[in-house]
Amino acid sequence: MLLGIPKELASGENRVAIIPSDAKKLVRAGAAVQIEAGLGLGSGFSDQEYVDAGATVVADRNAVLSSADVVLRISKPSIEEIKQLKAGCIHVSYLDPFNEHELIKAFRDQQVTAISMEMIPRSTRSQKMDALSSQASLAGYVMVLLATTKLPRILPMMMTPAGTLKPATVFIIGAGVAGLQAIATAKRLGAKVVAFDTRDVVAEQVRSLGGKFLEIDLGETGQTKDGYAVELTEEQRQLQLEGQKKQIAESDIVITTAQVFGRKPPVLVTKDMVAGMKPGSVIVDMAAETGGNVEGSVAGETVEVDGVTIIGNGNWANYVSRDASQMYSSNLFNLVDEGWDKEKQAMVIDFENDILQGCVITHSGEIVNDTIKNLIK
C-alpha cells in the first residue's frame, strides 16, 4: 500500500503530517511511503531524513496525490486536488465537515474514503489519535507566550532594590485542553492565574494547577459525553458575561479558549469589557478564525482597540511547528495503525471499529457519517 504525504499549501504553514521517525515505522509495517520534496523543511526535517527512513521523495505533487492509496495531510484539500485522487483511496486530514459541504460531496463523488481528524471520538482508547487535543495543548502554551510579548510588564512578582513589582493577573476563560495548558504555562511564568469554565467539574483541575477558579452561579450546566461544555441558555450566557466583567477589568491578560466544533463560538468578551480594561492589557482570542470569542478581534491579525491589544493570529500550534508536527504525526500514525491489517499490509476500513465509525465521513461513493449526512442534502 502506497502512502502519500504532500506538502501543506496554506500560507505560513510549517507543520508536517508525518515526521521521519513515523515514516520509518510505517515502512517497517509494510507500507511504501512517498513524500513531496521539501515536505518537512519548515519544521527542520530534511528530505534526506525521509530517504534514510525508507521513504521515496518525489518532486511532482500531482504524482504524490494521484498515485497514493492513502493520503496523509493536515489541512483540507481543494476540490481540484480531490479530483486527482484515485477512486478507492483513503484521505486523512482536517476537513471541517460541518461547514465544507461541497468538499464532502466531492469526496463522495470521487469514491474516496474521507477521514476527518476533527471527528476522532473523545474516548480513552482514541486519545493517542486525538489531533484536536494534541494541537490545542500546544496552542494553550503558545497563546500565553504571545501575550507576554505584547504586555508592557513582566508576569512574576519581582523584588529588587528599586522596589517590588507585583505579579500580572492572567484570566483564562475555558478550562479545556488549551485552557488548562494556558493556566499551567502562565503559572510557571509567575503570574496570578484566575480561570472560569461553565463546567464545575473542572474547577478542581484548575486549582490543582495553581489557578483560582472564578465562581459564577449559572444554575444547572454540564458537559456532553465527549467532555465538551453544554451550550448555555441566553439567560445563563448573560449571567456569565456579568460575572466575568469585574475580573476582566482587573486582568492584565485575558485568554479565551471557547471553541464549539461545527458552530460559531460564543462571544465572551464584549466591546464594553474591552473598553473597561487597563491600557496596555492584552487579549488572546483562540477562536478568532471561526468567528471569535472577543468583539473586535480580527482573524489572522493582532489589532489594538481602546488601548488593548487583541491577538487573533490563529494556527497557534504552528508557532512551535516541530513539536506540533511530532504530535500530529503520532496521531496520524496511531490512526493508520488502528486500521492496519498486518497480513494484507494495508489500512482497512472496518465499520465495526468504534473509532473509525465516528471519523469516516465518506466511503464507497456514500456519505456514511449520519450526522454529516443529515446536514448535506
Residue 219 has which C-alpha cell?
A: 444554575
Alpha carbons 93 and 13: distance in angstroms, whole number: 14
Which of the following is catalytic: 228, 319, 337, 357? 228
Identify whether 188 is a catalytic site residue. no
CB atoms closer than 10 angstroms to residue 208: 11
Which of the following is catalytic: 46, 61, 96, 122? 122
Identify whether 78 is a catalytic site residue. no
Which of the following is catalytic: 123, 127, 205, 357? 127
The set of residues, in sequence order, having a beta carbon less than 8 Å from that of 270 and lying 6+ positions away, is: 241, 295
Q: How large is the C-alpha radius of gyration of the chain?
A: 22
Q: Which of 316, 315, 320, 322 is nearest to 43 (CA)?
A: 322
Which residue blocks in 41-117 are alpha helix, DSSP H? 47-52, 61-67, 79-82, 101-109
Identify whether 127 is a catalytic site residue. yes
Which of the following is catalytic: 34, 133, 259, 297? 133
277 near 248, Cβ under 8 Å?
A: yes
Alpha carbons 4 and 22: distance in angstroms, whole number: 13
Which whole-number Å values give the CA distances from 231 to 134, 198, 199, 287, in the listed order?
24, 9, 11, 16
Identify whether 130 is a catalytic site residue. yes
Instruction: Give the number of C-alpha atoms closer than 13 A to the C-alpha of residue 327, restricted to the C-beta side.
Output: 18
Identify whether 94 is a catalytic site residue. no
Cell 465509525 identifies what position? 357
Residues annotated as catalytic (active site), given as ranges: 122, 127, 130, 133, 228
